[in-house]
């Protein structure tokens, strides 16, 4: 595993974004782990987060795109932070854009904020964690209504590696449904690999008991 992925896993733990215990997902699944990117709450955290996204985007998609689009609401700071990091790390100036939940009818009018989408733009989507692809389903019509743009991919922070609406993972379903590649900074398999029975800051986050619970969860919901 690349060192930046290990650092990102530790960064999620430090930021209280990656948690282990008993949780219920939005889809009603009882899960022993949870990823809540709402716990990135400081400028320093967003700067680091943007850097990890930039590295993953560079490695998996290259830099041949024009706009980084973050669906509202959590995608808004992600698109800003990652576009800044891409500029700093790779000297590539990409635009950022997001949608509003409601159309604004005064001032900066319309459904979008940030850079407007132009005909011919190559657009890369950025999200936190995708489990069912609902936000992509809602967002793509908005993007495509702006003109002749090309959506060239989707990057998320963590691939939960569980079934979406069918038997395949949500990221695979999105890729096959909409015809563009998907990628994640890390997968849950990599999280388990890095933390299982390995102390971090004096604590073992995934011991044998939790590992068994994770295995049981994937036996039921794994893609």
Positions annotated as catalytic residues are 104, 106
Q: Give the containing element (helix H, strand E) for 213.
A: helix 208-221
Q: What is the DSSP string of 34-99?
A: EE-GGG--SHHHHHHHHHHHHHHHHHHHTT--SEEE--TTTHHHHHHHHHHHHHHHH----EEEEE
Tokens representing 159 are 């691939």
CA distance to 111, 149, 161, 205, per residue, from 215 (Å): 42, 41, 12, 15
CA distance to 31, 61, 85, 105, 154, per residue, from 57 (Å): 28, 5, 11, 34, 9
Whether 156 and 171 have beta carbons less than 8 Å apart is answered as: yes
CA gap 106, 12 in Å, rounded: 39
Contact partners, residue 4, CB within 8 Å, separation at least 6: 52, 55
């Amino acid at each position: 595993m690349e060192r930046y992925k290990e650092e990102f896993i530790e960064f999620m733990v430090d930021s209280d974004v990656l948690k282990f215990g008993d949780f219920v997902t939005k889809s009603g699944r009882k899960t022993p782990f949870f990823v809540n990117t709402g716990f990135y709450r400081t400028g320093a955290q967003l700067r680091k987060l943007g850097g990890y996204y930039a590295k993953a985007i560079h490695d998996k998609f290259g830099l041949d795109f024009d706009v980084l689009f973050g669906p509202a609401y959590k995608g808004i700071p992600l698109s800003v932070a990652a576009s800044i990091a891409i500029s700093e790390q790779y000297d590539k100036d990409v635009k950022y854009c997001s949608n509003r939940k409601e159309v604004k009818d005064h001032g900066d009018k319309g459904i979008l904020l940030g850079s407007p989408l132009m005909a011919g733009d190559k657009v890369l989507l950025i999200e936190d964690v995708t489990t069912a692809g609902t936000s992509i389903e809602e967002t793509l019509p908005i993007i495509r209504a702006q003109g002749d743009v090309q959506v060239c991919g989707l990057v998320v922070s963590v691939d939960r590696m569980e079934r979406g609406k069918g038997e395949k993972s949500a990221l695979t379903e999105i890729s096959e449904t909409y015809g563009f590649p998907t990628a994640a900074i890390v997968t849950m398999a990599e999280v388990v690999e890095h933390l299982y029975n390995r102390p971090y800051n004096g604590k073992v986050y995934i011991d044998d008991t939790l590992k068994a619970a994770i295995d049981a969860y994937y036996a039921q919901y794994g893609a």
